[in-house]
Chains A and B, each alone.
Chain A
Amino acid sequence: MNGENGAEETTYEVPIGPIHPALKEPFLIKFRLDGEEIVDAEPHPGMNHRGIEFMGMHRNPMEVIPLSERICGICSIVHQHMFTTATEHALQIEPTNRARYIRTIMCELERIHSHILWAGVAAHEIGFDTHLHLTWKIREKVMDLLEYIAGNRVNYSMWTFGGVRRDITEEMHPKISETLEYYEKTYDKLENIFLKDPSIKMRTKDVGILSKKKALELCGVGPTVRASGVKKDVRIDQPYAAYGDIDIDYVIPSRYGFEDKGDVFSKTVVRLKELLQSIDIIKQCVAQMPEGEITSEPKKAALFNKLEKKDGEGIGRIEAPRGEAIHYVRLSEGREDIDNWKIRASTYNNLPTYAPMFMGEQIADIPIIAASIDPCIGCMDRAEIVDIRSGETETYAREELHELSVEKTKKLKEEGI
């Protein structure tokens, strides 16, 4: 890189961070380059340790519920659900049937919100900011519905041990069905943009390929591996909440007439088709919802005493919008606080899949490939790039990479037309 005075200088930066307030595992990827081509990619997680597990171990389980949903800004329901089910497992209490259905509806609403948000981010990374604004406008509807049900736009505080804290009553049904109709209508628009537009196809097809073999070897989770044709979904493999009663199937591109290639395009297909699946699941849940109590432990003070006196450990699993995630909780008798709490979010599993995806691609494709696993991190805040010919080390800021990506789209468009 040339300095201000025009002389050649080699820069070396120690990246501290990247820090992002909403994310659990910010990390750094080191790329080795041969010219424009990436020959090696090495993810470095662990850049921002917030110590949430440690904080949780110095609080009682009731205090940890609001803390757990703040692990992630987008999938707060996911972490809340896992923590609560893990503690329920340890306490050996069961949620009521009605609570199971309400939980399922909330989980699916969050999936709709998360996938639409992802589509906007992906469009932004390849330089279509109009689509970013369009998708995020579409997303507002589901945020309004979540606020209407839970009272909060994000961090819903809906879960409690043994059930949920707010009911989905008959009066709420019209608003839910209205929102679902809106999404059914706008789905065609999204499909037109993301699956049929030639410019977007040029940037996403055959980019960042993850073969089925690699996906299985590296134990990826969620839409990242489903796009490669791997049938893996906790909702079907080990149903939780009300998923056991509901008719669902694995969303893989070949079911819809696309190729199970594992490139960015297949991942887009999986995420968009999961929108339709989520709408279907919510409809089934609303129709089948049983009557009854919303929580099996209505007396909170008694529950609080129970939590203090119980010995045990438990596990909570969920299919988050990004893939499978797990919480482990251990409680010990006579101790008000949690004994041990371990969180494994889905991005942690998907990190190793970066290596085969980046192989042989160009620097300008880094943002879209990095975004394709829907990382729960400000992943490209800083990336270090090593040129193997000269041994120089450069550090690209997020903006520079974004510029490169936008330029590539422009160039491809000009060439294509």
Chain B
Amino acid sequence: MPTQTIYTLIKQLLKKKTTNPFPVKYTPDNMHDAQELIEEGKLEINPPVEVPPGFRGKLKYDKESCIGCQLCVKVCPSEALVFTEERKVRHYVTRCTFCGQCVDICPTDSFEFTDEFLMAGPEKLYDDLVLNP
């Protein structure tokens, strides 16, 4: 039994880690300073995990090709899509469940999934969190 334990331990040391690393090893004291350092290129961060093909990330909306048929509004389960007065669609990213039914049903393919998954913001209606505001 002890030999098996030692064998397993050595094997574990040589193996690649199963979990994904954090962006930085320790939490920086000041987030703003750290962000500046990253922008200046002085602090290296571990890149985010690669997404698989066909990943359901943030939606991309093409306003020009939209014909205002409202089918996407009807199939959206979480009311993330709202029909606007200019006969286009407004998308609230924070309400989206990424089921992709709007992508499937759109007759003009105005919706598209992207690989973007970093979608945090300080408030619900922050900058990029509403498409076609």
Binding site for B on A (CB under 8 A): 59-60, 62-67, 137, 140, 144, 147-148, 151-152, 155, 157, 160, 165-166, 300-301, 304
Among the listed stretches B23-31, B35-43, B93-101, B120-128, which one makes contact with chain A, having 4 or more residues with CB under 8 Å of it?
Answer: B93-101
* Inter-subunit contact B107/A301 (CB<8 Å): yes
Task: Give chain A residues whose Cβ lies under 8 Å from the Cβ of B97.
Answer: 66, 155
Q: Contact check: which of A65, A137, A144 meets B99 at CB < 8 Å?
A: A65
Q: How far is the CA of A65 from the CA of B102 in the complex (A)?
A: 13
Q: How far is the CA of A300 from the CA of B74 in the complex (A)?
A: 12
Please state if A151 and B74 are interface contacts (CB–CB under 8 Å). no
The answer to whether A62 and B75 touch (CB under 8 A), given A157-B99, A165-B100, A300-B104, is yes
Contact between chains at B55 and A151 (CB < 8 Å):
yes
Q: What is the size, in residues, of chain B's interface with A at 8 Å between Cβ atoms?
A: 21
CA distance A155 to B99 in the complex (A): 8
Q: Are A66 and B101 in contact (CB under 8 A)?
A: yes
**Of listed B53, B77, B113, residue having the most chain A CB within 10 A:** B77
Listed residue (A63, A67, A160, A166) with the most chain B CB atoms within 10 angstroms of its CB:
A63
Closest to B52 in A: A148
- Smallest distance from the beta carbon of B19 to chain A beta carbons, Å? 9
Q: Is chain A's interface secondary structure helix, strand, loop, or mixed overall?
A: helix
Which residues of B are found within 8 Å of A147, using beta-carbon distances? Answer: 52, 55
Q: Given A151-B56, A165-B104: A63 and B76 within 8 A (CB)?
A: yes
- Chain B's nearest CB lies how many Å from the CB of A114? 20
Q: Is B54 an interface residue (CB 8 A)?
A: yes
Closest to A61 in B: B75
- Is B45 close to A, CB under 8 A? no
A66 touches B99 (CB 8 A): yes
Contact of B9 with A by CB under 8 A:
no
Q: Which residues from B are CB-within-8-Å of A65? A: 77, 99, 101
Across-interface contacts of A301 in B (CB, < 8 A): 71, 105, 107
Judge whether A151 and B52 touch: CB under 8 Å.
yes
A140: B residues at CB distance < 8 A: 18
Asked if A304 contacts B74 (CB within 8 A), the reply is: yes
Can you report 18 residue pairs joining A to B where beta carbons are below 8 Å apart? Answer: A59-B77, A62-B105, A63-B74, A63-B76, A63-B77, A64-B77, A65-B99, A66-B99, A66-B101, A147-B52, A151-B52, A152-B98, A155-B99, A157-B100, A157-B101, A165-B104, A304-B75, A304-B105
Besides A60-B75, A151-B52, A300-B105, 4 new A-B residue pairs in contact (Cβ under 8 A), listed by A number: A63-B74, A147-B52, A152-B56, A155-B99
Residue of A nearest to B56 (CB): A151
A60 to B77, CA, bound (A): 9
**CB within 8 Å of A: which B69-120 residues:** 71, 74-78, 97-101, 104-105, 107, 113
- Cα-based distance from A64 to B97 in the complex (angstroms): 13
Tell me the bound Cα distance from A64 to B54 in angstroms: 23
List residues of chain A with CB within 8 A of the CB of B100.
Answer: 151, 157, 165
Nearest B residue to A175 via CB reads B52
- B18 cross-chain contacts in A, Cβ below 8 A: 137, 140
